[in-house]
Structure 1
Amino acid sequence: MTDADEIDRRLITLLREDGRRTYSDRAGIVGLSVAAVKRRVNRLQAIGVITGFTVQDDHTKLGWG
């Protein structure tokens, strides 16, 4: 169990919904500064809550089947 709080959970939800959203957008939504949001995301990565970021692609548009 981690020490993730409600804001951490909200940030994770925002990342899941749209990983391209800017830190500034996320900060405005959760009510923190951009720097605080960056620190939280970095901490969540460091403690293994966020394990990576992925890209979803369309293989047919790439000619891969």
Structure 2
Amino acid sequence: MMDLDRTDRMILGILQREGRITNLELAERIGLSPTAASERTRRLQKDGYVTGYGARLDSARLGFGLLVFVEVLLDKTTPDIFDHFAAAVRRAPEVLECHMVAGGFDYLLKARMKDMAAYRHFLGHALLALPGVKETRTYAVMEEVKTEGPLPL
């Protein structure tokens, strides 16, 4: 973030909270011309600071009311096993996020599905069948307290 000035950080802060803001409104809020605001926004996108835009959907209303976090321990930790596991997880639509972590297990997954029966099926038929999976621990979310918080720019 060293090459970002105060205006760039303002643009990023606004965009991460209000991705559908018009360029004209963005320009007014940061005190630039619409052309200058548009050029800065394009540069931030081109340089990879903005990785995408999308709508936040109500998962419960769409039938995905169960959120789980799963610790995954692999039987071996070799580059080949890591690559195969990562490729398989990328193909699993239920998995929203997957992070390789340091500590007592290898990966932390965040997944959404309809209910516990759907999770049981996913666990038995998809997750435990992934390459190298030795053991899992599941944590079902009872309440989502804070989600998708903006970065503290």
TM-score, reference length from structure 1: 0.82
Greater gyration radius: 2
Change (3 A) 1:46 1:2: farther
For this pair of structures, how many residues does the alignment match? 65
Higher strand share: 2
**Aligned equivalent of 2:45:** 45
Identify the residue that residue 10 of structure 2 maps to in structure 1.
10
Which one-letter code corresponds to 1:31 in the other structure?
Answer: G
The AA in structure 1 aligned to 2:17 is: E
- State the Cα distance separating 1:58 from its structure 2 match: 1.4
Deviation at 1:2?
A: 5.0
Gaps of at least 5 residues in structure 2 are: 65-113, 115-153
- Aligned-residue CA RMSD in angstroms? 1.6
Does residue 23 of structure 1 match 2:23? yes
Paired letter, 1:39: E
Unaligned runs of 5+ in 1: none
Structure 1 counterpart of 2:37, which letter?
A: V
Q: Report the alpha carbon displacement of residue 63 of structure 1 after superposing the two structures with TM.
A: 4.4
TM-score (norm 2): 0.39
Encode CA deviations 1:5-46: one digit per residue, 9 max, x unaligned: 110000001111211111111100111011111111110111
Structure 2 Cα separation of the partners of residues 52 and 28 of structure 1: 23
Poorly superposed stretches of 4+, deviation over 6 Å: none
Give the distance between the partners of 1:51 and 1:63, measured in 2 at CA.
27
- Match for residue 34 of structure 1? 34
Q: Which has the higher contact order (CA 8 A, sep 6+)?
A: 2
| Percent of aligned pairs with the same amino acid | 37
Q: Report which of the two has the higher share of helix.
A: 1
Paired with 2:45 and 2:20, the residues of 1 have a C-alpha distance of: 17
Q: Return closer, same or farther for 1:39/1:33 CA change in 2, 3 Å cut-off.
A: same
**Amino acid of the structure 2 residue aligned with 1:12:** L
Report what 2:137 is aligned to.
Answer: none
Give the corresponding residue for 2:61.
61
